[in-house]
Amino acid sequence: MPDHSIGTAPGGQIPVSPNNPCPFLRALVANGYVGGHDVPLAQLTELIGLASGETGSAQKNVRMKTWMVAVIANGLGPLRVLKSATTGAVLDELRDGPLDKHGGGSRILDVDAKVHEDEIARLAGFGKDRKDPAGGIERGLTAKEIDTFMKANIKRDGDAAHWYYPMLMKGEWPVLLKILGKGEGEERYLSVGEVRTLFVEKRLPERITARLPKPSAGR
């Protein structure tokens, strides 16, 4: 049975199942943009396409890549893929699915959906202080620094890291950089502060939510 958990949520937010391990999707569920169980792929890909800030063919490319990931997120069997394609992804049943690294990777969010602040601090150690385009200085990671971070995660996992983990990781941190990143070109960076807000508070920056339709799920 799906876990519709559960536990408490910050004021105004919807509780999110620990069996949804994706921080971006957890924020969408918590703030009512999508439901916590079955979500049609058309709805999911539209939201992520809008969140990316891309337009035209570039946004279509984002949606296509999102669909390709989402259609296998609950299982690789042909019947499961067909079900995902027709009825949607089941967000509270992603844990232990094909995209779950079972505690590998950043280790910021554990299997009980507890956030580990020491792992956020470790992430920050791979970045540098950068000038926020909106003003001020903040710690952030560029694409090269994120790549170094991911390689360090694989090395830390040792024999527990499967050969396909690097491919899974490319659908995580680099995607967050593309959606949440600030700046342009090689200097574009992912704010550690915004990563913490995403994981801990399950909130997206206002500049991202401004691109999305008004939330309605679960309201």
Q: Where are the domains of the chain?
A: 17-100, 101-201
- Residue 170's pLDDT is 78
DSSP the chain: ------S---TTPPP--TT---HHHHHHHHTTSS-SSEE-HHHHHHHHHHHTT--HHHHHHHHHHHHHHHTTTT--SHHHHHHHHHH-EEGGG-TTSTT--TT-TT-SB-TT--B-HHHHHHHHHTSEEEE-TTSSEEEEEEHHHHHHHHHHHHHHHGGGS-TTHHHHHHTTHHHHHHHH-BSSGGG-EEEHHHHHIIIII----HHHHTTSPPP-TT-
Question: Quick one: which of 195, 217, 219 has its CA closest to 38?
Answer: 217
- Residue 36's pLDDT is 95
- Residue 10's pLDDT is 58
Question: Quick one: which of 188, 175, 194 has its CA closest to 124?
Answer: 194
Q: What is the pTM of this model?
A: 0.89
pLDDT digits (tens, 9 = 90+) for 126-181: 999 999 999 999 999 999 999 999 999 989 988 877 777 777 777 789 999 999 99
Exposure on the CB side of residue 119, measured as CA atoms within 13 A: 18
Query: CA 207, CA 76: separation in Å to the nearest integer?
Result: 35
- Residue 111's pLDDT is 87
- Residue 191 phi/psi, 5-degree rounding, is -70, 125
- Residue 5's pLDDT is 40
Question: Quick one: which of 111, 87, 88, 89 has its CA closest to 100?
Answer: 111
Report mean pLDDT in 10-residue bins for the chain, 219 residues: 44 91 95 96 96 94 92 94 96 90 84 94 98 96 96 88 74 91 96 98 96 76
- Residue 1's pLDDT is 38
